[in-house]
Chain A
Amino acid sequence: MLELLAQLTVNGLVSGSLFALLGISFGVILGTTRTFHFAHGVVYTSAAFAAYAFREGLGLPLWLAALLGVGTAVLLGVGIEVVVYQPLRRLYASPLTVLIASLGVLIIVENMMAIFFSTDAKVMSGFPSHVIIAGGVAFTLLHLGTVVVSWVLFGALWLYLHGTKTGKAMRAVASRPEMADVVGIDTRRVFIQAFAIGSALVAPAAILFTLDKGATPDMGVTAVLMASIAVIVGGMGSLPGAALGGLIIGLARNWGVWVVPSEWQSAIAFGILVVVIVFRPTGLFGAKLVKAEV
């Protein structure tokens, strides 16, 4: 019994770490640019398929394929910002309009990938599938890698935002966009930067997931849903909140195996979302309820 709990907790930490990474990658874009970037889901998928194509198609080593996957994600993420979102913002389009465009981009890219890669799962090889057993709990090296990569990246983002000049500019834009403009920060560039960073962060999550379970064209939709739920649970505008939100969702989904029938498993994250909205609409770490954006 206790062993099962321990195993579920470890599983929860692994998927929770991945959700945390998804959460901060989505949160850094939402927080800085106020864009509900649902097309983030296909940026995620693009990293997975790019890495897969370079690895399995061209036979490149995994590290290089992964790096090219990250590059693809950054190109796509920044491309969407520059080609689709920025022209809309220049027209003073409402956040609602930008959101609609992001859904349009989401289905365009998702279906293009469905045409190119078909819809069956593409598994990527190259990571040692070594199983570790400790104290009656089993996990793979990949799981360990997932946890380490997620939290190292979270730490790196934290250092970047608090320790570098460009990072501080991003935080300034996030908290007071109109003031940042006044003190001479180039908001347009900061937005691009946020999309680049968010896309670079989401790519490792996609690649780790692909090594574990394989890539499908629709994987990004679930990913961006979990990311957006993590952000709201944690409190909009708070990156530690988004990370914690992701971790909570991961743990709850695994612990939930105990009490919730499996057909309702997908509803657990949503249940948490509803509870948070009802009882703590600011989220766990959110300071204040900002005026409606959409």
Chain B
Amino acid sequence: MDYFIHIAIIITLYSILSTSYNLLIGYTGLFSIAHAAFYGIGAYTSALVALHFGASFPLALLAAVIVTALSGAAIGVPALRVRGDYLVVASFGFQMIVLGVMLNWLSLTRGEGGLTGIPRPELFGIKILTPAAYLPLAVATAALCFLVSWWVGRSPFGRVLKAIREDEVAAQSLGKDVVYFKIVVFALAGGLAAVAGSFYAHYVTFINPLSFTLEESIFIMAIVLVGGAGNLWGSLVGTVVLVVAPESLRFLKIPDTIAAPFRQILYGVLLVLFVRFRPQGLIGEHSSWHAAGDGPTGDGLARRDRAPAIAPSSEMRSGPAVRTSPAGAPLLTVHGIVKDFGGIRALDDLSLAFPEGRITGLIGPNGAGKTTAFNVITGFVEPDAGSVLYRGRELRGLKPSEIARLGIVRSFQDLRLFPRMTVLDNVRVALPGQRGERLLFTFLGALQSVRDDRRNLDRAYELLAFVGLVDRAREVAEDLSYAEQKLLALARLLATEADLLLLDEPASGLDPASIETLMALIRRLPEYGKTICVIEHNFDLIKELADPVVFLNQGRAIAAGTPDEIVTDSQLADLYFGV
């Protein structure tokens, strides 16, 4: 009987490890191979604090969580600022070092022999001595940890994590400070792993470095991938399967020296087979049996036919388009921008002005620097010289996410939707000022967070109604047709409530009917106080849509005026139409 209780306790521990690791790899797409190291730091910290200072179990647990979360931040802060593959190597190195320190820092960790005599936990004056007494505590803790991960996963914070996984650049372009989210989730996952570590240490009362090796990290990874990355329930299933299955080896009477490596081989084979033949795992991210209802509230549906709420804020929504400066005054001016790529001058003393409440068209031959101009304005490319002023404020030197939050957003030629998120979540994640994106708020302000999210759900449905995608709200974005994806990209952009929208070839690749739908929508945007700049190759479209029109050539604005002025300029006709 004790044997089965033991297995059950082991399952609770690994369920904590796998769900927290799932937040990293499944939700955020962060590839760390150091989860066993965090588990180990938690176990050792908890054991040492209890052994040396006689700290009670809750206190030791707390110390373990804090130390581990901090060490998570310590590798996360440098490695997460740069690219994903650096985290792979950095976490690999971290895993090996933690193990090396456990083995070699004899005065503290007693090396390979490990720490013995770790006290059993004592709660409310009751000492928990037997596995049977330990089991309820372990189950309750695992349930609590699961609840934390689950709550984080479905909060606005969790939605941003998935957006980062899907497309980091797009997430930045919508105003999300990607590095902040990565570091926070990294520390959170480390802290949760420490809970498992602490429970393990006080359960077995003896720990040594062999429990926290690279193989252990890979085992946790195998649980998450077999169960299904991005789905916490999958991690529970994966835990049960991968913990229980190898136990059968026990009954085959295989000597332990063979059984241990044999288990590892089994995990390795499972990893390789699953990524090849069932990459979504046993339970896919969007499998229906666990999905919670995310329909609009009755209120939201009732408003479907009313004017969509795409104005900058709810106060401005009711009245006519609100202008903060005289109509037609420039909202954004670009002055003297120079940008070289290697030997090629992409922008050469470029100056532009986007009058408020108008649709400015940007045309010019391929390579004229139109997209580069967008990249400079939105902070994705640092110019060599010149200035970008938005409402009189210099934008140079700001991060893309900061610029987006000031009210300037851009679309991408290749859309950069979040393909494996639902249509609804693609829009919802872009809504600005979500307090639930702060991890602490999702817990401390749980009620407000839920209320906010209800409201945001309605806002998202309104925007989907505006572009005509309400019926597809629950589908995954990659399942939409190309035309629908373009509409979704527009809805996502509007969701940011930015005042200035930079649209990079919104109509390219569309059939005439879809172009008409999209153009009709864009034409309505100034009514809601939006200022637009649109890059478009098709001059017929620009003529109907934009005024003024700016002609770019070789990195300069060589002409600006009404569409008619541009079209009658013979020099431009030569350049553009190549006659």
The count of chain A contact residues (Cβ–Cβ below 8 Å) is 51
CA distance A101 to B271 in the complex (A): 6
Smallest distance from the beta carbon of B238 to chain A beta carbons, Å? Answer: 14
B441 at the interface (CB under 8 A from A): no
Mark each residue of chain B from 269 to 283: 1 if its CB lies under 8 Å from any CB of chain A, else 0.
111100110010000
Choice from A96, A107, A232, A269 contacting B29 with Cβ under 8 Å: A96
B83 touches A289 (CB 8 A): yes
Residues of B within 8 A of A87 (CB): 276
> Nearest A residue to B89 by beta-carbon distance?
A228
Are B88 and A111 interface neighbours, CB within 8 A? no
Closest A residue to B92 using CB positions: A225
The winner among A84, A95, A100, A114 for most chain B CB atoms within 10 A is: A100
Q: A interface, by DSSP: helix, strand, loop or mixed?
A: helix
Query: Nearest CB to that of A112 among chain B residues?
Result: B265
Contact with B along A89-106 (1 / 0, CB 8 A): 001010111011101111
* Contact among B86, B97, B106 for A270, CB-based, below 8 A: B97
* CB of B36, distance to nearest CB on chain A (Å): 13
Tell me if B444 is interfacial: C-beta within 8 Å of chain A: no
User: Given the interface contacts A104-B275, A225-B93, A228-B92, does A111 sit within 8 Å of B82 by beta carbon?
Assistant: no
Which of B79, B86, B100, B269 lies in contact with A266, CB distance below 8 A?
B100
Please give the distance in Å from B371's CB to the nearest CB on chain A. Answer: 16
Q: Which residues of A contact B180 (CB under 8 A)?
A: none
Q: What residue of chain A has the Cβ atom nearest to residue B214's Cβ?
A: A221
- State how many angstroms separate the Cβ of B395 from the closest Cβ of chain A: 22
Please, what's the 1-or-0 string for A114-141, where 1 marks a CB less than 8 Å from any CB in chain B?
1100100000000000000000000000
Question: Contacting chain A: which of B137-145, B256-264, B304-312?
Answer: B256-264
Among A95, A104, A115, A262, max chain B CB count under 10 A is at: A104
Q: How far is the CB of B44 from chain A (nearest CB, A)?
A: 14
Report the interface size class on chain B: 35 or more
Interface pair B276/A277, CB less than 8 Å apart: no
The answer to whether B84 and A293 have CB atoms under 8 Å apart is: yes
Chain B residues within 8 Å of A36, by CB: 85, 88
Q: Is the CB of B275 within 8 A of A281?
A: no
Is B85 touching A273 in the complex (CB atoms < 8 A)? no
B275 x A97 contact (CB < 8 A): yes
How far apart are B474's CB and chain A's nearest CB, in angstroms?
25
- Complex contact B279–A111 (CB within 8 A): no
Interface string of A167-194 (1 = CB under 8 A from B): 0000000000000000000000000000
A93 CA to B279 CA, complexed, in Å: 9
Give chain A interface residues in 232-263, CB to chain B under 8 Å. Answer: 232, 236, 262-263
Interface flag for A152 (CB, 8 Å) = no
Tell me the chain B residues, 549-576 only, with Cβ under 8 Å from chain A.
Answer: none
Check B265 against A107 for contact (C-beta < 8 Å): yes
User: Contact: B31 with A289, CB < 8 Å?
Assistant: no
Residues on the A chain within 8 Å of B85, using CB: 36, 95, 236, 292-294
Considering the chains assembled together, what is the distance between the CA atoms of A108 and B264 in angstroms? 7
Per the bound structure, the CA–CA distance linking A269 and B96 in Å amounts to 11
B221 contacts A293, C-beta separation under 8 Å: no
A60 interface residue per 8 A CB criterion: no
Cα A103 to Cα B269 in complex, Å, equals 10
Give complex CA distance A104, B101 in Å: 25
Contact A292 B168 (CB under 8 A): yes
Instruction: From B267, B272, B279, name the one whose CB has the most chain A CB atoms within 10 angstroms.
Output: B272
Interface residues of B, Cβ cutoff 8 Å to A: 29, 31, 33, 75, 78-79, 81-90, 92-94, 96-97, 100-101, 104-106, 168, 214-215, 218, 221-222, 225, 257-258, 261-262, 264-265, 267-272, 275-276, 279
Closest 7 CB pairs of A and B: A104-B271, A108-B268, A266-B100, A111-B261, A263-B104, A294-B84, A104-B272
Known: A105-B272, A266-B100. 6 other contacts (CB 8 A): A108-B264, A263-B101, A277-B82, A290-B83, A292-B85, A293-B84
